[in-house]
Every structure is written in C-alpha cells, then in structure tokens.
Amino acid sequence: MKLIIGNKNYSSWSLRAWLAARAGGIGFEEIRIPLFIPGSREHILSHSPSGKVPCLIDHGLTVWDSLAICEYLAEKAPQLWPADPAARAVGRAVSAEMHAGFQNLRQRMGMNIRKDYAGHGRTPEVEADIARITAIWNDCRKRFGQGGPYLFGAFSIADAMYAPVCFRFQTYAVKPEGAAGDYLATMLADPHMQAWQQAALAETEIIPAEDVYG
C-alpha cells in the first residue's frame, strides 16, 4: 500500500490519512511530495486523479480524499471506528462536520507545526469554530470516552479527523477548557502525532502563502 502525502508541516489533510493508517497498524510506503513547487502538481497528478493529497494506492486501487481513505482503512482495521453503533454514528457525524466545515478556522489558522502563532487569527468567526470544536470534544469525551483518553475511548477515525486542529491549537495557543483540554494534551502526546511533528520540524521547505503571520 502506498500513501501519497504533502509536506508534514503544512498538509493537514495528509495527516488524517497517515495517522489513521499508523493507528490502525496498517503498513504502507510513504511518498511525500512537497506542495506548491515547480512540478509538484504534475507529480501529484501522476498518482492522484484529483490533483490533491492524500491519495492511497492499494494493489492498483486508487482512493483519494482523506475521509474516503480513512473509511477504506477501517475496512481493513475495523477498530478504527467504535464498535458500538451509536458511538460509531456520532463518530461519523463529527468526522463529517470536520470534513465539510470550520472554514474560518481553516483559513485563519492554517496548520503550520513549526510556527508559534500564539494569539493570531482569533476573529469572532474563528472563536465560534473553536467553541463548536470544544463542545464536540467535551460531548464525545463525556458520552463515549470511558474506555480510553480519545474522543470515543480508543483511538478512532474521529481523532484522525481532528488531529490537524490539535496541531493548530498548539501553534495558535488555543487552550480549550476541561475535558477538551485534557483531550488536546492526549493527542499532542500521542506517539504517532509526535512522530509526525518531529518529521515536520525537520522539513525545510517553506510555502510563503502559508506563513501568513511571519
């Protein structure tokens, strides 16, 4: 299995699929394509029909889009979704909400692991996104989190979907209160998250359009 990803410092969508594969114990060859440099679009298109990363290739089958890849991985590692149908339904709902929403947070607080952008980006619209994410995390932890420290107890695709938000909260020094704050600490200490972060810190490529706050 091959997983095509972008720069680890910047590519939030790539992180989701990579983390789900790692957490699911699924072996893969990583192909990292630095984004927005000459030739990168052609390189991505040679693997991914959407021209976007992440993209998974498994024995000739190509799956693009981070959430579709996570679902495909869960076919091989069913523990990536909660076993309980109600928890699984809510896990899919909060994952879909992340996938389709939080545009203000995405625009103003781009993932940029190497930077310290404490205090930047806090518009009222971003504050509303932060409040909704905090409510989701608190709700999942309270209703479904008994079996472990992640949103649904054990690590699930929902955690993979919110992983880039965790790095964003670290970069922009967003500190959610209560159980959501504990959950953020758990995610940032997760060994796979740490491995991704170390690799991001070691990268040298700069995407000027992403380094918006200096």
Ligand X SMILES: N[C@@H](CCC(=O)N[C@@H](CS)C(=O)NCC(=O)O)C(=O)O
**Residue (13 or 167) nearer to ligand X, CB:** 13
Q: How far is the CB of 75 from ligand X (least distance, A)?
A: 18
The burial of 75, by beta-carbon neighbours within 10 Å (0-12 exposed, 13-18 middle, 19 or more buried), is given as: exposed
**Residue (73 or 180) nearer to ligand X, CB:** 73
Residue 162 binds to ligand X (criterion: CB under 6 A):
no
Dihedral angle at the C-alpha atoms of 156, 158, 162, 167, nearest 10 degrees? 0
Q: Are 36 and 207 in contact (CB under 8 A)?
A: yes
Q: What is the chain's alpha carbon radius of gyration, rounded to the nearest angstrom?
A: 17
Among 12, 95, 134, 186, binds ligand X (CB under 6 A): 12
Among 9, 13, 134, 183, binds ligand X (CB under 6 A): 13
Q: How long is the chain?
A: 214
CA 12 to CA 113: how far, in whole Å?
10
Q: Identify the helix (H) or strand (E) that includes residue 131.
A: helix 124-144
Among 23, 35, 80, 113, binds ligand X (CB under 6 A): 35
List the x/- string, 58-97, binding to ligand X by CB under 6 A. Answer: -------xxx------------------------------
Q: How far is the CB of 135 from ligand X (least distance, A)?
A: 23
Among 53, 57, 80, 184, binds ligand X (CB under 6 A): 53
Provide the 8-state DSSP code for 204: -
Question: What is the contact surface with ligand X in residues (CB under 6 A)?
Answer: 6, 11-14, 35, 41, 51-54, 65-67
